[in-house]
Chain A
Amino acid sequence: MIVGERKPLEEIIESLEGAEKVLVAGCGTCVAICMAGGEKEVGMLASELKMAAKLRDMKIEVSEATAQRQCDKEYLDTLKDDVKGKDVVISMACGIGVQYMALNYEPMRVVPAVNTDFLGANLDVGEWAEYCQSCGDCVLADTGGVCPIARCSKSLLNGPCGGSADGKCEIDPETECAWQLIYDRMKALGRLEKLTEIRPPRSWKTSRDGGPRRLVREDQKA
């Protein structure tokens, strides 16, 4: 899922400059699960804003609403009445939701309340880690199910660099060396032979480097 975290209150307040009527709009999918921008977090941010308004003598009227998904027009439309008449919508969705909200409610001013961090898994309560970089050309079949693009600090394709020590990456003792994980997994699978092959330079065209990506599925359109 998409993992995000709430921006500091000060930054959010700064982005509201000049606004009197604001809507805090949550998203009920990824950011709700990682506890950054779901209904509960909407309530918390709204309270913080109201309190700040009182303490600082700001003229600001705060309302709340949450859509099941802000990246989907059908769900965004459910916020129509809530958005109406507002000066600013504070979207608590990921960067996708913020933009899609702005597009669907033009010319509404939409500001983000969440930093979109990465595509990751929920490892433990309150702990997430990046597992995918959406590079558009998945290599997991050959790497024992561990992604070297997202999880190796240098996105190496042919094995660990010289900085792999005791299973950790050179950048930080808390970061696992993806190539140690790949090696261990391939060994356990009896597939080490695969790691002796040289992987040629890959095409990054399918990644962000090829320009903004778009997927059109004719089978779905029809």
Chain B
Amino acid sequence: MKSGSNLEKVFEKGEFALTGECGPPRGADLEVVKEKAKHLVGYVDAVNVTDNQTSIVRMSSIGASKVLIDMGLEPVMQMVCRDRNRIAMQSDIFGAYALGIRNMLCLSGDHQIFGNQQDAKNVFDIDSIQLINVVHTMREEGKILGGDDIDGKPEMFIGAAANPFGDPFDFRPIRLAKKVAAGVDFIQTQCIYNMPKFREYMKRVVDMGLHEKCHIMAGITPLKSLPMAKYMAKKVSGIDVPQEILDRMKGVEKKKRAAEGIKLAIEQIQEVKDIEGVDGVHLMAIEWEKKVPEIVEGAGLHPRPQVS
């Protein structure tokens, strides 16, 4: 065992893993976190806690992760390279581990132009691949950047993201290989709507043998409505929503679109489950956490494996 986290144990047992997501509130209200997270208890193996996603100021990922631990949920603390230099990041990794956080996800982070602090100085002292290696070196060698020894190794289960739909497409598997070489344990992909393209990506990944060196989780986000589908298609960079998905949402009457979105998500989960190299699903029910039980049950992924 590298970290002994629940998520790691699920993978070790050879089970198909399932993670959820919880976006912290735009303020200090703990109840918001608790309300969102309660729907996930017993339905996922771990829960991603976003780090000021889309550059909007929110409760810190570390803080909200600790709230989840207290509720009996296992967090995956996200950490972006946008806001902190290597001093603050390494310090926060120590702090997070001391609070009981055992999984983390290393990300570049959305540029601050998307958020509510557009005048901020961006940091990007290190990038996501370098961050993976920092966490890996802490765990495996007990050293921080520069080589100093540490008192008490933070033994994190190390995750990162991959976007099979970003350009240049041919470079995407190479970038994944770099993350593997840097020491990543698991990968969560960007939301998948273009299934043929995802299949092609996975084929290349499997040909390179990368699926044997890390656990790949397919990203699924249920569509709540037609405007959401259009927003994902047009406004979110790096997300590829094919016309047929938009047509499918448009094809049902307005009242039934949420149900159609859930049906689609369940079908997508069943589809990715059969793709070689996919070891789990990362279910991002954005501001729709209460639907997670229905999706998980519908996809036949409930109950979750008991590993501890």
Interface residues, chain A, with chain B CB atoms under 8 Å away: 153-167, 170-172, 177, 179-180, 183-184, 192, 195-196, 198-201, 204
Q: List 25 A-B contacts (CB under 8 A).
A: A153-B111, A154-B124, A158-B129, A159-B175, A159-B178, A160-B166, A161-B128, A162-B108, A162-B166, A162-B237, A164-B168, A170-B110, A170-B111, A183-B171, A192-B174, A196-B174, A196-B178, A198-B130, A198-B133, A198-B178, A198-B181, A199-B130, A201-B86, A201-B125, A201-B145
Quick one: which of B130, B175, B190 contacts A160, CB cutoff 8 A? B175
Within 8 A of A (CB), among B179-197: 181-182, 190
Q: How far is the CA of A164 from the CA of B108 in the complex (A)?
A: 13
A106 to chain B, nearest CB (A): 32
Say whether B220 faces chain A, with CB atoms less than 8 Å apart: no
Determine the chain A residues whose CB is within 8 A of the CB of B174 once the complex forms.
159, 192, 195-196
CB of B52 within 8 Å of the partner chain: no
Asked if B130 and A164 make an inter-chain contact with CB atoms under 8 angstroms apart, the answer reads no
B108, A165: Cβ atoms under 8 Å?
Answer: no
CA distance A184 to B170 in the complex (A): 11
Query: Which residues of chain B have C-beta atoms less than 8 A from A196's C-beta?
Result: 174, 177-178
Interface Cβ pair total, 8 Å cutoff = 98
**Nearest CB of B to A162, in Å:** 3
Chain B interface size, as a band, is 35 or more
| Contact between chains at A163 and B126 (CB < 8 Å) | no
- The CA of A172 and the CA of B113, in the complex, are separated in Å by 9
Q: Tell me the minimal C-beta distance from B284 to chain A in angstroms.
A: 14
Does B163 sit within 8 A of A, measured CB to CB? yes
Residues of A within 8 A of B171 (CB): 159-160, 179, 183, 195
Considering the chains assembled together, what is the distance between the CA atoms of A198 and B178 in angstroms? 6
Contact of B178 among A158, A170, A183 (CB under 8 A): A158
Are B178 and A154 within 8 A (Cβ)? Answer: no
Which residues of chain B come closer than 8 Å to A204, judged between CB atoms? Answer: 125
Given A196-B178, A198-B182, the answer on whether A154 and B166 have CB atoms closer than 8 Å is: no
Chain A residues closer than 8 Å to B129, beta-carbon distance: 158-159, 198
Partner of B130, one of A153, A177, A201: A201
6 further contact pairs, Cβ within 8 A, besides A154-B111, A162-B238, A183-B170: A157-B127, A158-B128, A160-B166, A160-B168, A200-B130, A201-B130
User: In the complex, what's the smallest C-beta–C-beta distance from A155 to chain B, in angstroms?
Assistant: 5
Nearest to B80 among chain A residues (CB) is A154
Of the listed residues B111, B145, B170, B177, the one surrounded by the most CB atoms of chain A closer than 10 A to its CB is B111
Q: Which of B116-137 contact A (CB under 8 A)?
A: 122, 124-130, 133-134
Are the CB atoms of A167 and B82 closer together than 8 Å? Answer: no
What are the residues of chain B within 8 A of A198 when measuring CB–CB?
129-130, 133, 178, 181-182
A residues in contact with B126, CB < 8 Å: 201
